[in-house]
Amino acid sequence: MAKDWDLIITGGRVFTPSGLVEADVAVAGGRIADIGKLDAAKADEVFDAKGLTVLPGVIDTQVHFREPGLEHKEDLESGTRAAVMGGVTAIFEMPNTSPATIDAAALNEKLTRAEGRAWCDHAFFMGASAENAENLGELERLPGCCGVKIFMGSSTGSLLVPDDDTLRRALRSIRRRCSVHSEDEPRLKERFELVREGGKVAQHPEWRDVETAVRSTKRLLRIAREVGRRVHVLHVTTAEEVPLLAAAKDVATMEVTPQHLTLAAPYCYEELGSLAQMNPPIREARHREALWEAIRLGIADVVGSDHAPHTLQEKQAPYPRSPSGMPGVQTLLPLLLDHLNAGKLTLERLVDLTSAGAQRIFNIAGKGRIAVGYDGDFTLVDLRAKKTIEHDWLQSKSGWSPFEGKPITGWPMATIIRGHVAMRDGELLGGPTGRPVRFMETLPQGAGA
């Protein structure tokens, strides 16, 4: 006899729009069908969540999975496998692959590569360039595209919009909120003389200094207001940018990363060397504390991992030839849970930063909350579990994490995507079942969310 539901999660505490409640959650056809005191006999599969907290599925809105072109560092299968192991149900992948994602053909190539290989749901950014600036408004609306990414400062890859004229042309074309790597390219070039002949990795935040970030963000906000467009400033690192972004909520949202909330210079470079090197850099503790204040005050809108893997061999090159970036999609949630248990943020704020915030910023359809009609995406956590980030647990092809050996309180115990249990108790289940994320701007006319 056919059952009413495909899956029921019972016995856990569920984070709903009404708050944390003891309730059961039923999923049918990939979507949440009911919440409350439910009859488990009506479901094909029963998940006993006793002792666990059921959160909306975590969405990581900034990852670099390196495919195509750089698969020796990471690929869509290994990156999404790491995501699912860390409790992440959906990812947004960046365009600085090889070739770069700058047209419809490149986007469709990524979507095809992800089919049958991605463990979690996914969408891909379209990269902005001088060549496609006028076409971005059309490209950003393609199915499977989460929006446009602009690199104002050079990082990994060749995508770059360094000048105001190209930035203005790109923003005028865009209608959705675009995501921006905000570092001032002219100043980066000027200050590269500090390290051109070699140096110590601890000089990384001196080369890519505070003024490099502040100058870029001021330019971005000025032009965004001038052309009437919305921007999302990625991986904010400086105390000086926080008040700028707080005063620009009419046009700007703000992302922070777990590594900038956890590490601080100079100690991270002394302990980790180039493994702590990323763009923008890990800075001194005063900047880290300003980012925590931005979280406390509600200025920060979302946490993204900026998962940007390189091989250990590549990272061991002498600075500044050592590449910037570190893995992070699998450790995003464990680090935040540990900070939660240390009193740095509440569970409500964690949920907002990892699911609801992403839904608001990017207009994701059917994700970001536990509510009837939404996708059956859940991240189940044990808030009291004590674990250590161990090498054997890591799934990224790069094979390392700057947080290996770090003790953690709070741990992802299961990842459920559209009612499919993809990970439970540290084991992957079934196979890759990820699908493209849907967005309200790209739905057919008359379709619902």
CATH number at residue 35: 2.30.40.10
Q: Say what the pLDDT of residue 442 is.
A: 61
How far is 261 from 332, CA to CA, in rounded Å? Answer: 11
The verdict on 179 and 244 lying in the same domain is yes
Last residue of a domain, one of 333, 362, 391: 362
Last residue of a domain, one of 330, 362, 394: 362
DSSP 50-90: TT-EEEEPEEEEEE---TTT-TTT--HHHHHHHHHHTTEEE
How far is 65 from 110, CA to CA, in rounded Å? Answer: 11
The verdict on 63 and 38 lying in the same domain is no
Q: What DSSP state is assigned to residue 392? A: G
* Assigned domain for 315 exists: yes
Two tokens at 6? 């495909």
The verdict on 397 and 248 lying in the same domain is no
* Assigned domain for 248 exists: yes
Q: Which of 9-13, 56-60, 155-159, 428-432 has the lowest mean pLDDT?
A: 155-159
Mean pLDDT for the stretch of residues 167-177? 97
* Assigned domain for 445 exists: no
The verdict on 259 and 193 lying in the same domain is yes
DSSP 201-264: GGGHHHHT-HHHHHHHHHHHHHHHHHHT--EEE-S---TTHHHHHHTTTTTEEEEE-HHHHH--
Length of the chain, please? 449
Q: What is the CA radius of gyration of the chain?
A: 21
Two tokens at 87? 């409790």
Residue 211 belongs to a domain with what CATH number?
Answer: 3.20.20.140
The verdict on 315 and 422 lying in the same domain is no
Q: What DSSP state is assigned to residue 437? A: P
**Does the structure show a pLDDT above 80 at 448?**
no
* Assigned domain for 328 exists: yes
Last residue of a domain, one of 312, 341, 362: 362
How many domains does the structure of the chain reveal? Answer: 2
Q: Which of 334, 358, 355, 303 is nearest to 412 (CA)?
A: 334
The verdict on 18 and 137 lying in the same domain is no
The verdict on 274 and 292 lying in the same domain is yes
**Does the structure show a pLDDT above 50 at 176?**
yes
Mean pLDDT for the stretch of residues 203-222? 98
375 is catalytic: no
Q: What is the pLDDT of residues 52-94, one digit of tens each?
A: 999 999 999 999 999 999 999 999 999 999 999 999 999 999 9
Q: Say what the pLDDT of residue 316 is.
A: 97
Q: What is the pLDDT of residues 250-287, one digit of tens each?
A: 999 999 999 999 999 999 999 999 999 999 999 999 99
**Residue 1, CA atoms < 13 Å, CB-side half-sphere:** 5
The verdict on 120 and 37 lying in the same domain is no
> What pairs with residue 124 in β-bridges?
93, 145
> What pairs with residue 114 in β-bridges?
none
* Assigned domain for 288 exists: yes
Q: How confident is the model at residue 386 (pLDDT cuts 50, 70, 90)?
A: very high
Q: Say what the pLDDT of residue 153 is.
A: 86
Q: Which of 1-10, 205-214, 317-326, 420-429 has the lowest mean pLDDT?
A: 1-10
The verdict on 264 and 327 lying in the same domain is yes
Q: What percent of the chain has pLDDT over 70?
A: 97
Q: Say what the pLDDT of residue 446 is.
A: 41
* Assigned domain for 449 exists: no
Q: Which of 382, 38, 431, 62 is nearest to 235 (CA)?
A: 62
Are the CB atoms for 255 and 301 separated by under 8 Å? yes
Q: Domain of residue 338: give its range.
A: 57-362
Which of 306, 352, 377, 382 is catalytic? The answer is 306
* Assigned domain for 298 exists: yes
296 conformational bin, left if phi > 0, alpha if psi -120 to 50, beta if neither: alpha
Vertex 292: Cα angle to 288 and 296 (nearest 5): 165
CA 363 to chain centre: 15
How far is 201 from 402, CA to CA, in rounded Å? Answer: 15
How far is 58 from 274, CA to CA, in rounded Å? Answer: 29
Mean pLDDT for the stretch of residues 13-28? 97
How far is 285 from 168, CA to CA, in rounded Å? Answer: 34
This prediction's pTM: 0.97
The verdict on 62 and 187 lying in the same domain is yes
The verdict on 219 and 315 lying in the same domain is yes
Q: Is 298 exposed, middle or buried (0-12, 13-18, 19+ CB in 10 A)?
A: exposed
CA 425 to chain centre: 23
**Does the structure show a pLDDT above 80 at 29?**
yes
Pairing of strands 24-28, 53-56: unpaired
* Assigned domain for 446 exists: no
Q: Say what the pLDDT of residue 129 is.
A: 95
The verdict on 225 and 332 lying in the same domain is yes
